[in-house]
Amino acid sequence: MQVQDFEKLFQDRIDKEVKIEPKDWMPEAYRKTNIRQISQHAHSEIVGMLPEGNWISRAPSLKRKAILLAKVQDEAGHGLYLYSAAETLGMSRDEMINDLHSGKAKYSSIFNYPSLTWADMGAIGWLVDGAAILNQVMLCRTSYGPYARAMVRICKEESFHQRQGFESLLVLSQGTEEQKEMCQDAINRWWWPSLMMFGPKDSESTNSDQSMKWKIKRKTNDELRQQFVDMIAEQIKVLGMTLPDPDLKWNEKRMHYDFGAINWEEFWNVVKGNGPCNKQRLEARRKAHEEGQWVREAAMAFSNKQKVKASAA
Ligand code: FAQ
């Protein structure tokens, strides 16, 4: 059979909603784009622990601390599921991590913004996890089997993350004047970067067309972004707060909210490594990796010992 025949059979399977599994034939570009997306997703979960990790020791109560700690641990677990899913496509975890540390691999722009106050923990849970969920619910049906299955588990945890964020902001929104201001300020700072999480607008999205054909993505960046705006524009009413967008308005004709222009220059600047915290985030990850070297060595030594024992038995 010619390559074109394989490609046709492959596309037929995708069109029939049959999942692609690690040992199946796949076009090299399908493998590469999945490695790119899944590893970037994994890096985002791991780097994404940093803005919230910053507040674990300063949470205002034991209850809040336990919730935040559990959430940050969940993100670590998500990163590990996703690295495992990407490894099934033939790239080693070491290579992926080297690419993150060298700045070659991307991770979500959102984690390059600072978490300045306690209210940021609520805003991250509500807005950042809220945006992540919409994207990830779609990915539960992505065409690559190991990625889709990882997403099912991840989504269950993400919905708890979003709820705890909303509830934390709800408490602040009903508190003192100072707490209300802190709540509004956090929403103001996280709103626009959250909209950027969905990626460039469709007309600028280099990967979307092919990823939609291969059903890696099921909805475009702009479709998901609109879904997010429609959801949050309603939820904010419960908080009695406002979104920092004078152009946000229900459009009866479109049956969607209209919203203002996103600052794409800021987005690309952050993606290229020049956001407020890019350098700090990568330094923190490199340091954690170096400091964990002895743990990896000890684990390898233990595993080798077990293998020797097993072969002697
Ligand atoms: N940041 O052609 P497209 C989370 C890049 S998880 C940085 O549209 P694509 C959980 C893109 O890579 C959040 N770069 O790309 C959590 C591409 O460059 P490349 C992460 C971005 O892949 C919560 C170029 O721009 N979620 O938050 C961004 O078709 C709280 C052109 O873009 C995922 O990764 C961005 N925002 O669509 C953790 C979900 N957007 O690679 C802790 C999986 C785009 O060609 C605390 N990923 N770029 O050099 C996806 O669904 C997709 O990759 C998109 C982008 C939708 C992000």
pLDDT tens-digit map of 7-17: 999 999 999 99
Confidence at residue 258, expressed as pLDDT on a 0 to 100 scale:
98
Asked whether 120 lines ligand 1 (CB < 6 A), one says no
Asked whether 108 lines ligand 1 (CB < 6 A), one says yes
pLDDT tens-digit map of 132-141: 999 999 999 9
Q: Is the dihedral of CA 79, 82, 87, 91 positive or negative?
A: negative
Asked whether 44 lines ligand 1 (CB < 6 A), one says yes
- Rounded mean pLDDT of 24-44? 98
Out of 271, 272, 281, mutate this one to test ligand 1's pocket (max ligand atoms within 8 Å of CB): namely 271
Q: Quick check: 24 pLDDT over 90? A: yes
**Burial (0-12, 13-18, 19+ Cβ within 10 Å), 298:** exposed
Nearest atom, ligand 1, residue 38 CA: 43
C-alpha to C-alpha distance for 158 and 294, rounded to whole angstroms: 32
Query: Measured in Å, how far apart are the chain's first and last C-alpha atoms?
Result: 47
**In DSSP terms, which residues pair with 249 in a beta bridge?**
258
Q: Quick check: 48 pLDDT over 90? A: yes
Phi-psi region of 119 (alpha: psi -120 to 50; beta: other; left: phi over 0): alpha
Distance 99 CA to ligand 1 centre (A): 16
Asked whether 199 lines ligand 1 (CB < 6 A), one says yes
Confidence at residue 15, expressed as pLDDT on a 0 to 100 scale:
97
Distance 86 CA to ligand 1 centre (A): 15
∠ Cα 111 114 115 (to 5°):
100
Q: Which amino acid, residue 284?
A: A
Distance 139 CA to ligand 1 centre (A): 12
Nearest to 40 by CA among 109, 126, 134: 109
Confidence at residue 3, expressed as pLDDT on a 0 to 100 scale:
84
Asked whether 194 lines ligand 1 (CB < 6 A), one says no
Q: How many helices (H) and strands (E) does the chain have?
A: 14, 2
pLDDT tens-digit map of 58-93: 999 999 999 999 999 999 999 999 999 999 999 999
Nearest to 55 by CA among 124, 110, 108: 124
Distance 112 CA to ligand 1 centre (A): 13
Q: Output the residue whose Cα is nearest ligand 1's atom 43.
A: 41
